[in-house]
């Protein structure tokens, strides 16, 4: 029953409750009304009985009067009146209660009925005797009838009294009962109202209880707490459906969140992997490039040559070999390291010295150095290849005195190192090729240190982390060229 | 947990409310139906087959009441109902008129307790013609066509009173040489029964005197008429007897009705005649028994009213079942005096 009720739809539930309560009130009302009706019927009957007796008495009087009238005047009208009234009287007395019981009412009714029959008989005979002009007989009969008339009247009167007495007793009882009934009825109605209010409160609480818990849960969820127990489903009504859907929704949201977290983790891992690969690549490239310039043997033998020159007292040879050895040692020692601008400039100094010895001081070398920038970090083996490039492609084939100018200065937070020659210059095409990191000539890699401009460019870009690390300018054929390196200042 | 608990409390409270409402409604319905039943009582009453009218004149003594109660009890046992006809009427009627009414009402039987006179005999014959059986009570309308007589033998009653007077002589209560006995008789009655009774008293005393002339004195028995024409005349007549200075005061007064006995008892006390006037009473009402206890009334003669009533009803029932019944039924009489008063009271108590 309870479960069936629970599974009803909300509309039916409310209808059912209202209907039930109304039915209770209605039933009680019906009982009260029927009882009150019944009681008032009884009060009515008190008077009905007395009215009936009054009718009987007046009808009896009429019979007696009509008979007397006929005896007096002997008209056919009077006779007709007599018969009519006698019939009416007979009809009336037939409705009397004439049972023999302990109550005198029935017994008196019986007596009235029987006496009336005899009375009507006597009056009939009186009339007959009168019509037959039997004077003696109709006088006797008339006396008899009149005596009976007297008895009947007394009985009617007494019965009236008797009924009145009994009805008064009943009436008193009835009035008392009425009062009691009224009080009882009021108490019951009051009780019904109270309990109806209570029932409605309980039943609506029952109806809204799942709604309340649903609201509470929804608030929890809206705060972001998805870690909740699923709500119990009490009923199959609309609220039950909403509760179920809510439970499903919470589970779906939880699943969705887990999925999102998983995909985020995967993405993270992918990105980490990518980064690792990139760094590996750079490392490999660096290692590869460095592997190209590893002249251990040369360095050792040069060292031995310098020792020899010093022992033989050839100081210039010694110095020359010494510088050369230093040049190569730098390669061995610093080849794979980050160095300062100062160290790179030293290497360029040594290189120019070697070249000037080799080409008997043909190259003019000038420096404009901002000493504050000497400590700025940069990759090794950068400046020397640029200078070598200037010498090989700019100055060597020119007529007149070649000149190399190296400048170190800063613009904003960037250290700038420019290498300038006054040689043959470069075409736009060559500049573009250099800038894109492609070898310009076939034997580009065959520089003194084995490091081509493409390598320099690549390493600078890797070190700096951005592409605009070098600028190349040339105003055209015969007007020289200018390489400028831009580095973010990182003090060693 | 708390949900379960609250739902349990919920159920209990709803159950309780339902029970209280149901109880109240049941009380309301019960009250209503019982009240209805009470009002319907007259309608639901047992309906009796036969209806007998009892005519007692205007006698409203305890004796008649007791008789009537017994009568009703026996009648209802036989699906009949007895009613004292004059009881519910607003007008007082003579016995003759009441008998006429009974005949006109077609009652199933008449129990007539009235003084014997010829007027009523005509009506008894008329009733008989109309097949209404008439039982005469105590006074036998022996010349009429009554169905049956129920009562006591007046001769026996007179003899008993005579014996009681002789008893008084034995006890030396009566000191006069000639004992004056006064019998109260009904002045309005032409009843031969009273004469029988009167002569039976005289006869008994005279016989005794003749047998034992020295121990038992002669008696002068006279009748004193009591006016019974209306309700209060009996008491007046009885007092007149005591105040009457023209004759000697009686030594013994024999009362033949309950009313006479009670009135005489009161008058003797009032006029301070206790001891000089001895009362022989009739019937055993509480007042009379008290008189015996106080030694004002010497003795009383009681009749078993239940036996009388039973005889009446039985006679009527037999008439309807068998067509006839015995014409003459007498009941036993019993003397109550100081010696057997307590015994009698106890018996009476046990019977009740």
**pLDDT tens-digit series, residues B241-267:** 888 877 788 889 999 888 889 999 999
Q: Say whether both A323 and A356 belong to one domain.
A: no
B43 pLDDT higher than 60: no
CA quadruple B153, B159, B160, B163: dihedral, nearest 10:
180
Both tokens assigned to A135? 């004077």
Q: Say whether both A332 and A366 belong to one domain.
A: no
Task: Check residue A261 and give its pLDDT.
Answer: 93
Domain end marker among A215, A239, A261? A215
Contacts with A211 from chain B: Cβ below 8 Å? none
The percentage of chain A sitting over the pLDDT mark of 70, rounded to a whole number, equals 92
- Confidence category of residue A408, pLDDT binned at 50, 70, 90: very high
B15 part of contact set with chain A, CB < 8 Å: no
Q: Say whether both A384 and A415 belong to one domain.
A: yes
pTM over 0.80: no
B1 pLDDT higher than 50: no
Contacts with B104 from chain A: Cβ below 8 Å? 114-115, 118-119, 148, 151
SS3 B279: strand
According to the CATH classification, is domain B50-152+306-331 in 3.40.50.2300? Answer: yes
Q: Do residue B24 and residue A111 have CB atoms under 8 angstroms apart?
A: no
Both tokens assigned to A457? 């460019």
Nearest to A100 among B24, B48, B93 (CB): B48
The DSSP secondary structure of A373-426, one letter per residue, reads GTTBEEESSSHHHHHHHIIIIIITTSSS-EEEEEEEEEETTEEEEEEEE-SS--
Least confident of A251-260, A328-337, B318-327: A328-337
Measured CA to CA, the distance from residue A176 to residue A170 in angstroms comes to 10
Task: Please give the ipTM for the structure prediction.
Answer: 0.74
Residue-wise burial string across B262-271, b where 16 or more C-beta atoms lie within 10 A, e elsewhere: bbbbbbbeee
Average pLDDT, chain B: 82
A217 part of contact set with chain B, CB < 8 Å: no
Say which residue, A308 or A191, is predicted with more confidence: A308
- Confidence category of residue A422, pLDDT binned at 50, 70, 90: confident
Both tokens assigned to B272? 């301070």
Task: Check residue A416 and give its pLDDT.
Answer: 92
Q: Which of residues 210-249 of B touch A (CB under 8 A)?
A: none
**For testing the chain A interface, which of B40, B48, B84, B89 should be mutated: the one with the most A CBs within 10 Å?**
B89
Q: Do residue A181 and residue B32 have CB atoms under 8 angstroms apart?
A: yes
Boundaries of every domain in chain B: 50-152+306-331, 154-304+335-351
User: The dihedral of CA B154, B156, B158, B164: what is its sign?
Assistant: negative
Residue of chain B with shortest Cα separation from A35: B32
The whole domain housing A388 covers: 352-488
Measured CA to CA, the distance from residue A326 to residue A310 in angstroms comes to 16
Task: Check residue B7 and give its pLDDT.
Answer: 62
Residue of chain A with shortest Cα separation from B19: A195
Residue of chain B with shortest Cα separation from A206: B7
Task: Check residue B131 and give its pLDDT.
Answer: 87
Could you give the residue ranges of the DSSP H alpha helices within A100-134? 104-131
A42 part of contact set with chain B, CB < 8 Å: yes
Rg of chain B in Å (alpha carbons): 28
Q: How many CB pairs under 8 A join A and B?
A: 114
Tens of pLDDT, residues A346-395: 989 988 888 888 877 778 889 999 888 888 888 888 888 888 888 888 88
Task: Check residue B55 and give its pLDDT.
Answer: 87
Tens of pLDDT, residues A128-160: 888 888 888 888 888 888 888 899 888 888 888
Asked if residue A285 belongs to a domain, the reply is no
CA of A274 vs chain B CAs: smallest distance (Å):
56
Nearest to B90 among A38, A147, A158 (CB): A158
Say which residue, A54 or A433, is predicted with more confidence: A54
Q: Do residue A184 and residue B81 have CB atoms under 8 angstroms apart?
A: no
A444 pLDDT higher than 50: no
- Confidence category of residue A419, pLDDT binned at 50, 70, 90: very high
Tens of pLDDT, residues A339-349: 889 988 998 99
Distance between first and last Cα of chain B: 70
Least confident of A474-488, B6-20, B79-93: B6-20
Residue from B212, B259, B264 nearest B239 by CA: B264
Asked if residue A306 belongs to a domain, the reply is yes
Q: Say whether both A319 and A199 belong to one domain.
A: no
Our count of domains for chain A comes to: 3
SS3 A235: coil
Q: What is the average pLDDT across A461-481?
A: 83
Asked if residue A181 belongs to a domain, the reply is yes
Q: Do residue A103 and residue B90 have CB atoms under 8 angstroms apart?
A: no
The percentage of chain B sitting over the pLDDT mark of 70, rounded to a whole number, equals 91
Measured CA to CA, the distance from residue A352 to residue B130 in angstroms comes to 183
Are B83 and B52 spatial neighbours (Cβ–Cβ below 8 Å)?
yes
- Confidence category of residue B196, pLDDT binned at 50, 70, 90: confident
Asked if residue A248 belongs to a domain, the reply is no
A342 part of contact set with chain B, CB < 8 Å: no
Nearest to B89 among A28, A158, A174 (CB): A158
Both tokens assigned to A3? 């479960």
Most confident of A281-290, B229-238, B296-305, B321-330: B296-305
Q: Say whether both A168 and A53 belong to one domain.
A: yes
- Confidence category of residue A441, pLDDT binned at 50, 70, 90: low
Say which residue, A95 or A46, is predicted with more confidence: A95
Q: Say whether both A326 and A439 belong to one domain.
A: no
Q: Say whether both A105 and A203 belong to one domain.
A: yes
- State in words which class domain B154-304+335-351 has: alpha beta
B239 pLDDT higher than 70: yes
Task: Check residue A450 and give its pLDDT.
Answer: 59
Same fold, B50-152+306-331 and B154-304+335-351: yes
Domain end marker among A186, A215, A244? A215
Asked if residue A324 belongs to a domain, the reply is yes
Task: Check residue A321 and give its pLDDT.
Answer: 86
Average pLDDT, chain A: 82
B5 pLDDT higher than 80: no
- Confidence category of residue A284, pLDDT binned at 50, 70, 90: low
Q: Do residue B39 and residue A170 have CB atoms under 8 angstroms apart?
A: yes
Assign residue A54 the CATH number of its domain: 1.20.1330
Are B319 and B294 spatial neighbours (Cβ–Cβ below 8 Å)?
no
A259 pLDDT higher than 90: yes
């Amino acid at each position: 029953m309870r479960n069936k009720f629970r599974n009803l739809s909300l509309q039916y539930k409310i209808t059912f409750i209202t209907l039930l309560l109304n039915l209770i009130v209605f039933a009680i009302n019906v009982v009260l009304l029927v009882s009150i009706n019944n009681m008032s019927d009884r009060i009515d009957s008190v008077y009905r009985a007395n009215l009936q007796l009054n009718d009987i008495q007046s009808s009896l009087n009429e019979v007696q009067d009509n008979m007397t009238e006929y005896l007096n005047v002997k008209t056919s009208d009077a006779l007709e009146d007599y018969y009519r009234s006698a019939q009416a009287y007979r009809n009336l007395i037939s409705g009397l209660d004439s049972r023999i019981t302990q109550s005198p009412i029935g017994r008196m009714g019986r007596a009235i009925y029987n006496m009336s029959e005899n009375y009507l008989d006597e009056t009939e005979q009186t009339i007959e005797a009168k019509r037959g002009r039997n004077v003696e007989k109709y006088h006797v009969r008339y006396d008899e009838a009149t005596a009976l008339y007297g008895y009947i009247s007394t009985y009617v009167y007494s019965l009236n009294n008797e009924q009145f007495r009994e009805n008064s007793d009943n009436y008193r009882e009835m009035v008392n009962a009425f009062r009691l009934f009224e009080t009882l009825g009021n108490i019951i109605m009051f009780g019904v109202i109270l309990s109806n209010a209570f029932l409605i409160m309980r039943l609506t609480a029952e109806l809204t209880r799942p709604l309340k818990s649903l609201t509470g849960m929804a608030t929890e969820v809206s705060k972001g707490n998805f870690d909740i127990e699923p709500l119990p489903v009490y009923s199959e009504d609309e609220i039950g459906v909403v509760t179920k859907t809510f439970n499903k929704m919470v589970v779906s949201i939880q699943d969705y969140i887990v999925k999102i977290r998983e995909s985020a983790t995967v993405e993270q891992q992918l990105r980490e992997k990518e980064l690792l690969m990139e760094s590996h690549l750079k490392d490999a490239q660096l290692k590869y490039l460095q592997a190209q310039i590893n002249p251990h043997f040369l360095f050792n033998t040069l060292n031995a040559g310098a020792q020899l020159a010093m022992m033989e007292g050839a100081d210039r040879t010694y110095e020359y070999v010494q510088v050369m050895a230093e040049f190569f040692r730098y390669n061995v020692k610093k080849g794979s390291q980050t160095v300062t601008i100062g160290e790179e400039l030293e290497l360029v100094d040594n290189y120019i010295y070697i070249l000037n010895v080799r080409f008997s001081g043909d190259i003019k070398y000038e420096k404009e150095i901002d000493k504050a920038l000497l400590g700025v970090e940069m990759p090794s083996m950068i400046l020397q290849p640029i200078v070598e490039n200037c010498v090989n492609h700019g100055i060597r084939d020119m007529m007149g005195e070649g000149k190399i100018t190296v400048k170190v200065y800063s613009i904003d937070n960037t250290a700038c190192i420019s290498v300038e020659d006054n040689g043959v210059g470069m075409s736009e095409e060559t500049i573009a090729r250099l800038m894109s990191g492609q070898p310009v000539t076939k034997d580009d890699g065959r520089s003194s240190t084995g490091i081509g401009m493409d390598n320099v460019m690549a390493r600078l870009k890797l070190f700096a982390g951005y592409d605009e690390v070098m600028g190349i300018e040339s105003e055209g054929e015969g007007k020289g060229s200018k390489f400028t390196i831009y580095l973010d200042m990182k003090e060693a | 947990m708390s949900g379960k608990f609250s739902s349990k409390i919920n159920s209990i409270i709803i159950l309780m409310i339902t029970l209280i409402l149901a109880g109240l409604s049941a009380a309301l319905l019960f009250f209503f139906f019982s009240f209805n039943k009470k009002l319907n009582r007259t309608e639901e009453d047992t309906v009796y087959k036969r209806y007998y009218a009892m005519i007692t004149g205007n006698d409203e003594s305890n004796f008649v009441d007791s008789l009537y109660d017994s009568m009703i009890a026996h009648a209802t046992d036989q699906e009949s109902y007895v009613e004292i006809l004059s009881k519910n009427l607003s007008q007082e009627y003579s016995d003759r008129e009441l008998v006429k009414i009974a005949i006109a009402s077609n009652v199933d039987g008449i129990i007539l307790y009235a003084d014997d006179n010829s007027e009523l005999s005509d009506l008894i014959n008329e009733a008989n013609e109309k097949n209404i059986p008439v039982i005469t009570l105590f006074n036998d309308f022996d010349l009429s066509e009554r169905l049956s007589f129920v009562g006591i033998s007046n001769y026996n009653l007179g003899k008993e009173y005579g014996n009681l007077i002789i008893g008084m002589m034995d006890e030396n209560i009566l000191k006069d040489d000639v004992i004056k006995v006064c019998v109260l008789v009904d002045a309005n009655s032409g009843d031969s029964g009273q004469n029988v009774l009167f002569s039976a008293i005289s006869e008994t005393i005279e016989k005794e005197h003749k047998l034992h002339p020295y121990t038992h004195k002669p008696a002068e028995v006279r009748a004193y008429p009591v006016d019974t024409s209306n309700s209060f005349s009996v008491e007046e007549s009885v007092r007149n007897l005591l105040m009457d200075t023209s004759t000697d005061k009686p030594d013994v007064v024999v009362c033949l009705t309950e009313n006479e006995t009670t009135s005489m008892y009161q008058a003797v006390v009032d006029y301070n005649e206790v001891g000089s006037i001895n009362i022989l009473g009739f019937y055993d009402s509480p007042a009379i028994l008290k008189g015996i206890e106080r030694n004002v009334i010497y003795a009383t003669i009681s009749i078993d009213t239940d036996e009388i009533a039973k005889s009446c009803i039985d006679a009527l029932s037999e008439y309807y079942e068998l067509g006839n019944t015995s014409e003459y039924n007498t009941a036993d009489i019993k003397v109550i005096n100081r010696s057997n008063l307590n015994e009698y009271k106890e018996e009476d108590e046990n019977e009740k």
